[in-house]
Amino acid sequence: MDRRNFFKSSLAAGAALSTGRARARETRSILPEALGLLYDSTLCIGCKACVAACKRENDMPPEFLPRTEQPYWDQPLDISGKTLTVIKVYRHGTMDKKDQEENGYAFIKKSCMHCVDPSCVSACPVSAMQKDPVNGVVSYDKDACIGCRYCVAACPFGVPRFTYDQTFPQINKCQLCKHRWKDGGYSACAEVCPTGATLYGKVTELKAEATRRRALKPGAATTYPRGKLGGPDQSYPGVAAKYVDRLYGETEFGGTQMVFLAGVPFEKLGYPNLPPRSDAATSETMQNTLYGGLVMPIVFLGALTYIAKRNVKDDEQGGHHG
């Protein structure tokens, strides 16, 4: 078969295989049994017990501030290959009042958002990033990972981190403490949180709890659950907070299984406005459109095969190639 006929037949085969494949993919919906966390910034006291528990339970090393001469304790400034969650602080002006935008301060948690339609899963070429089909938790398989870091580039929240300083580098990110689920265990950060600012549970129930809080009159007496929703009652009396009118994670990039309430606008807390359509849906639709199903990969594979065969033939004939 000469080169022209080879390409023609590749195209024909690709076109035949691709019939009906090139169509837009919609953003996926949240799973009914999805698990996640509700983080309420107004309840957070910045104690960082969650950060310490996360380190301990996930066997992560401490991180010392650069140029600290006598490092004594873990001081991560951001999530990294050694730190899966951090609590950051918003500060403005005189910092007089908590959860106030002007002259106030507020805390915010950072960790994997466990996206409903995760870009990291869509971008990973070897399925090392996976979304659990029942509870939707996004986990990572270091044995399958080839270190391409496509997930790092794809994540809209800048979450997966590569352990460049290790002999065998890998990706690190929160996996919702799935290793603790057996025997009724759950996320260490939620278990130790003294105020219930980080609360674990089914996303539907966490969202119902968020709706309850948002409906309260600021200052009204209420109770706050602690630890795990649906677990042993650890609720305590408190006072209703004043929230910005938003549950972050409800729609952003197709929604997330980590949802936030706060008294300060989320853009100020480092969580930007994002469109409701997931990146995964957009990129997979683009791939479908560009490739027309399998046309492009087959043409590309055909071209590579042709070149390889030509080179072998040249070698056999004692010719040279470049």
The site for ligand SF4 (CB under 6 A) is made up of 44-50, 53-54, 57-58, 84-85, 87, 107, 109, 111-115, 118-120, 138, 155, 157, 159-160, 173-174, 176-177, 187-189, 192-195, 197-198
Closer residue to ligand SF4 (CB): 34 or 295: 34
CB of 167 to ligand SF4, least distance (A): 23
**19-32 burial by CB neighbour count: b if 16+ within 10 A, else e?**
eeebeebebbebbe
CB of 227 to ligand SF4, least distance (A): 11
CB of 256 to ligand SF4, least distance (A): 7
Closer residue to ligand SF4 (CB): 10 or 187: 187
Closer residue to ligand SF4 (CB): 53 or 281: 53
> How many beta carbons lie within 10 A of that of residue 171, not counting itself?
23
Closer residue to ligand SF4 (CB): 14 or 255: 255
Closer residue to ligand SF4 (CB): 173 or 207: 173
As a whole number of angstroms, the distance between CA 102 and CA 95 comes to 8
CB of 251 to ligand SF4, least distance (A): 14
| Bridge-based pairing state of the strands 97-98 and 104-110 | parallel
As a whole number of angstroms, the distance between CA 244 and CA 241 comes to 10
CB of 46 to ligand SF4, least distance (A): 5
CB of 278 to ligand SF4, least distance (A): 9
C-alpha neighbours within 13 Å on the C-beta side of residue 155: 22
As a whole number of angstroms, the distance between CA 227 and CA 86 comes to 18
Alpha helix locations (H) across 94-219? 119-123, 150-154, 188-192, 203-215
Dihedral sign for Cα 11, 279, 37, 56, please.
positive
Closer residue to ligand SF4 (CB): 112 or 295: 112
Closer residue to ligand SF4 (CB): 50 or 295: 50
Contact 139, 73 (CB under 8 A): no
Q: Which residues have CB under 8 Å from 79's CB, separation 6+?
A: 85, 86, 110, 111, 159, 161, 173
CB of 108 to ligand SF4, least distance (A): 10
Closer residue to ligand SF4 (CB): 128 or 192: 192
Going through the chain in order, the beta strands assigned E by DSSP cover 35-40, 86-91, 97-98, 104-110, 129-131, 138-140, 161-162, 171-172, 198-202, 221-224, 236-239, 258-261
Closer residue to ligand SF4 (CB): 200 or 291: 200
As a whole number of angstroms, the distance between CA 210 and CA 204 comes to 10
CB of 25 to ligand SF4, least distance (A): 16
Q: 92 burial class (0-12, 13-18, 19+ CB within 10 angstroms)?
A: middle
CB of 7 to ligand SF4, least distance (A): 38
